[in-house]
Amino acid sequence: MKKKGLLLLGLFLVLTSCGEYQKVLKSEEPGVKYTMAEKLYNQAKEENSKAKFRKALRLLEQIVPQYRGKPQGEKLAFLYADSYFELKDSYNAGYQFERFTQSYPNSDKVEEAAFKSAKSYYFLSPRYDLDQTETVKAIDELQKYIDAYPNGEYLEEANVLAADLRVKLEKKAYEIAKQYHHTTNYKSAIVAFNNFITEYPGSPFREAAFYYRFDSAYKLAINSYQYLMKERLETAKGFYNNYQKYYPEGSVYYNQLQTDFQDLDTRLQNF
């Protein structure tokens, strides 16, 4: 009986709370909405409650424009952007935090807003094989934060996120070059791998790029007309020497590389 009474009491409180929220939502008083929105936001933070963030956001959507330019406007603008961030609405969070940093450059929340704006764009970055416009935007925003706050609270995380996005761009460029190789478009593969090696000197895909550049040149040479073969074999030999310079014996492609080079060298000697 006691347990049933507690359940009924809880249900009553929930219904009362819902009724109060609906009343405030329909109210014409921005001050009442301000108070409840702030209360719900703080509760949502403490409880990690998505439902309360959504409720706070509905109220904030109504009153943020009314407080723009007023003393409370700064606080509301931050709560508004952060509610989107907590709800993982990365597009709106990034945009609203960006507006916040522009509107309130002297705020004590501006560093946090700058980082969360950049992080929101990070979450919008798609898979490496899709268009990477959002990835480039995210890197730019993270770099802005890093440059503006060289000793910032979020500097370490910003560097990690930016590095992760750069690897994604590198992987896309590498896979495009590799696709040329795998479809026997060796001329395009050589150009693409040359560009990759120049543009991404510290990439984790660099050794593979050196190998596939050589392999593309080697296969292009041995499948060429006789009058083109010698020059192309010499080009491939140059790429072999480049690979050997940076990745000596023991590298993952070493055995296959040596087999192909022996064949290449024999062909050159025959000329």
- Of the listed ranges 46-50, 64-68, 165-169, 219-223, the one predicted with least confidence: 64-68
Are the beta carbons of 125 and 138 closer than 8 angstroms?
A: yes
Q: What are phi and psi of 24, to 5 degrees?
A: -65, -40
Q: What is the pLDDT at residue 35? A: 94
Report the alpha-carbon distance of residue 61 to residue 237 in Å, rounded. 65
Report the alpha-carbon distance of residue 230 to residue 194 in Å, rounded. 21
pLDDT tens across 50-86, in order? Answer: 999 999 999 999 999 999 889 999 999 999 999 999 9
* pLDDT, mean of residues 210-223: 97
In this predicted structure, the answer to whether residue 238 has a pLDDT above a threshold of 80 is yes
Closest CA to 175 of 165, 189, 157, 154: 189
Are the beta carbons of 121 and 92 closer than 8 angstroms?
A: no
Amino acid making up residue 165: L
* pLDDT, mean of residues 209-222: 97
Rg for the chain (alpha carbons), in Å?
29
DSSP class of 220: H
Report the alpha-carbon distance of residue 69 to residue 240 in Å, rounded. 65
Phi-psi region of 48 (alpha: psi -120 to 50; beta: other; left: phi over 0): left
In this predicted structure, the answer to whether residue 17 has a pLDDT above a threshold of 60 is no
In this predicted structure, the answer to whether residue 204 has a pLDDT above a threshold of 90 is yes
Total Cβ atoms within 10 A of residue 134: 19
Report the alpha-carbon distance of residue 94 to residue 113 in Å, rounded. 9
Report the alpha-carbon distance of residue 103 to residue 65 in Å, rounded. 13
Q: What is the pLDDT at residue 208? A: 96
* pLDDT, mean of residues 5-27: 61
Q: What is the pLDDT at residue 250? A: 67
Total Cβ atoms within 10 A of residue 138: 26
Amino acid making up residue 187: K
Where do we find the tokens 């301000």? 34
Amino acid making up residue 3: K
* pLDDT, mean of residues 132-144: 96
> Which residues make Cβ contacts (< 8 Å) with residue 158, sequence separation at least 6?
115, 118, 119, 142, 145, 146, 152
For residue 11, name the pLDDT band (cuts at 50, 70, 90).
very low
Report the alpha-carbon distance of residue 215 to residue 227 in Å, rounded. 20
- Of the listed ranges 14-23, 47-56, 65-74, 112-121, the one predicted with least confidence: 14-23
* pLDDT, mean of residues 222-244: 95
Report the alpha-carbon distance of residue 142 to residue 125 in Å, rounded. 13
DSSP class of 118: H
Q: What is the pLDDT at residue 130? A: 94
DSSP class of 251: S
Residue 52 in tokens: 């309360």
Q: What is the pLDDT at residue 7? A: 41
In this predicted structure, the answer to whether residue 10 has a pLDDT above a threshold of 80 is no
Average confidence score pLDDT of the chain: 92
CA distances from 120 to 75, 83, 85, 129 (A): 20, 12, 7, 20
Are the beta carbons of 212 and 193 closer than 8 angstroms?
A: yes
For residue 30, name the pLDDT band (cuts at 50, 70, 90).
confident
Residue 134 in tokens: 């959002």
Q: What is the pLDDT at residue 248? A: 82
3-state secondary structure of 172: helix
In this predicted structure, the answer to whether residue 118 has a pLDDT above a threshold of 80 is yes
